[in-house]
């Protein structure tokens, strides 16, 4: 595999570690914990792993001799920058425990465990992937570890390879399943520890103990670089409004962080739209008013950031989608028989008056996406809806109405962008390279101490890496009960943007200025070598959250 000059130079980068992980460690345990909600139900479902204490590691002068450990590792779900460094940190940590320790990687996600597809990860393999993006060292997948049959099938290969601990690197669903697996193996005395690591570029796996999920820092910096490039082009040509959709179906953390980094004219935050019970027309009017105000100053250009999941947060659209899902589930065969040219009117005539009016107001392309592009369960695939085009088309119509009323005299032309996959496999920033390596190394320490049902935790991350606090948090502590596919299930509570937290409050205090004036910031590409203030900075979200505590 041919490598670029950056890859060659990057391979020699040694990630920074918290002081507590640099030699012998001692373990400090806190008080018993409880879940964030639904305590009785979660405790009943997890009798063997509920109520465990939060753990932190501290430097120790006491010399310990640990036996060799054989561990397995799985990458689960969508890719995020830094996954390779989690595995490198885990590998190095296991070898530091005992040089005879081994690490096996299960291929293409949880399916590798069930189907017994694996490789032994040796130092030669690990060294090829240090400080690189992607998950291609062993691949990833979205198979869910949920059933006893899967657990038992996985246990066969675990026993065959002599694996004592399994590390699952994934998001909230993957770590929920890791906790279920930990509980089951503890219940049957399988002698297998299960440790989770927090991954998701969406940033919605976070709490007091998990300050940020890995990959969020890099992805936001990648997107912000390109947004900055677009804004500079925008400010050069002075003739386009750029509508930019960003990853983040369940939460708007990426859009908010990119707004803080680049200072666009407009950024919509889904959680605020839901909180204020805004309609689609409210959102369109908000954007159109800013476009008109800038045009009055002679500025017929600007940028709009839009979270991928916005549509699902608009209460009226959520009701429309729910009714559409139910209607098409019951009448799908009849709908399929109708001519394409008549399908729109068919739906308009069969929905409730309120939802019919909303559906009729949508551009034809978006209406078609809502009614035709369904997932295997019959639900609309919200992530496929071109929200950026929906909003720009509706803003254009709104401005035409304003022009006819003499309220707008400018020119409006739109460009559209969606940034998603572009950030998922980027070479990790120094922050993510350090953070991920520390998460993996911490996982090895949790294994050495015999822990199971824990998620690797590295905190105090706005300080230099030397001062980071490494430890573990019981996964049950983050859980609540939610309805999934018609059943109440235990899941890790998703972290949405909180409107009363410092990052959003700062954004809200600045957005009128950014809307009216051209205040663009151009972050440029991620810097890997140079002064720490350029190379090692965490996200603005993390900094503001730390200041707000």
Catalytic residues: 202
Neighbour tally for 303: CB within 10 Å: 27
Distant-in-sequence, close-in-space partners of 240: CB < 8 Å, separation ≥ 6: 234, 301, 413, 414, 415
Residue 438 CA to residue 446 CA, distance in Å, equals 12
Residue 229 CA to residue 244 CA, distance in Å, equals 12
DSSP 497: P
Q: How far is CA 131 from CA 15, 422, 463, in A?
A: 8, 18, 21
Helix, coil or strand: residue 244: strand
Residue 228: half-sphere exposure toward Cβ, Cα within 13 Å: 16
Residue 162 CA to residue 149 CA, distance in Å, equals 20
Residue 367 CA to residue 377 CA, distance in Å, equals 19
Residue 441 CA to residue 17 CA, distance in Å, equals 9
Question: What count of residues does the chain have?
Answer: 549
Tokens of 366: 């978006």
Residue 343 CA to residue 357 CA, distance in Å, equals 15
Find tokens 């015999």 and name the residue: 450
N-term to C-term CA, the chain: 46
Residue 48 CA to residue 181 CA, distance in Å, equals 11
């Amino acid at each position: 595999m041919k490598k670029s000059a950056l890859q060659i130079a990057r391979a020699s980068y040694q990630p920074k570690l918290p002081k507590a992980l640099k030699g012998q460690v001692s373990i400090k345990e806190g008080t018993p914990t409880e879940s964030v909600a639904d305590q009785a139900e979660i405790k009943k479902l997890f009798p063997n792993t509920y109520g465990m204490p939060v753990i932190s590691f501290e430097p120790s002068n006491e010399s310990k001799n640990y036996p060799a450990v054989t561990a397995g590792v799985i990458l689960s779900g969508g890719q995020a920058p830094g996954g390779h460094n989690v595995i490198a940190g885990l590998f190095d940590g296991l070898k530091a425990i005992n040089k005879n320790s081994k690490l096996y990687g299960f291929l293409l996600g949880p399916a590798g465990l069930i189907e017994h597809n694996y490789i032994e990860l040796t130092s030669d393999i690990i060294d090829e992937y240090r400080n690189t993006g992607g998950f291609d060292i062993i691949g990833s997948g979205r198979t869910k570890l949920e059933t006893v049959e899967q657990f038992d099938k996985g246990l066969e290969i675990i026993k065959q390879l002599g694996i004592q601990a399994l590390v699952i690197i994934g998001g909230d669903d993957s770590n929920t399943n890791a906790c279920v697996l930990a509980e089951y193996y503890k219940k049957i005395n399988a002698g297998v520890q299960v440790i989770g690591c927090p991954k998701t570029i969406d940033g919605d796996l976070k709490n007091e103990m998990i300050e940020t999920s890995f990959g969020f820092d890099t992805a936001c910096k990648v997107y912000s670089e390109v947004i900055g490039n677009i804004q500079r082009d925008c400010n050069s040509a002075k003739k386009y409004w750029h509508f930019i959709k960003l990853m983040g179906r369940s939460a708007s953390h990426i859009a908010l962080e990119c707004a803080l980094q680049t200072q666009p004219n407009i950024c919509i935050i889904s959680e605020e739209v839901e909180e204020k019970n805004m309609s689609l027309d409210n959102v369109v009017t908000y954007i159109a008013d800013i476009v008109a105000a800038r045009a009055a100053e002679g500025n017929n250009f600007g940028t709009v950031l839009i979270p991928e999941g916005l549509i699902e947060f608009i209460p009226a659209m959520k009701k429309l989608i729910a009714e559409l899902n139910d209607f098409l589930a019951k009448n799908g065969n009849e709908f399929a028989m109708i001519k394409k040219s008549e399908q729109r009117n068919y739906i308009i005539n069969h929905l409730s008056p309120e939802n019919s009016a909303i559906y009729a107001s949508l551009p034809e392309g978006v209406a078609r996406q809502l009614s035709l592009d369904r997932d295997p369960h019959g639900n609309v695939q919200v992530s496929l809806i071109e929200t950026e085009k929906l909003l720009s088309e509706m803003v254009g119509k709104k401005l035409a109405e304003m022009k006819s009323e003499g309220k707008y005299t400018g020119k409006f032309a739109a460009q559209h962008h969606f940034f998603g996959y572009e950030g998922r496999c980027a070479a990790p920033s120094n922050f993510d390279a350090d953070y991920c390596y520390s998460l993996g190394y911490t996982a090895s320490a949790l294994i050495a101490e015999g822990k199971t049902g824990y998620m690797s935790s590295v905190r105090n991350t706005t300080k230099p890496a030397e001062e980071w606090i490494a430890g573990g948090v019981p996964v049950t502590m983050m859980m609540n009960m939610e309805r999934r596919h018609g059943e109440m299930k235990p899941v890790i509570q998703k972290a949405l943007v909180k409107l009363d937290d410092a990052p959003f409050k700062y954004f809200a205090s600045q957005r009128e200025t950014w809307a009216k004036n051209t205040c663009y910031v151009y972050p440029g590409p991620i810097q890997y070598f140079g002064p720490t203030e350029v190379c090692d900075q965490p996200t603005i979200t993390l900094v503001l959250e730390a200041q707000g505590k």
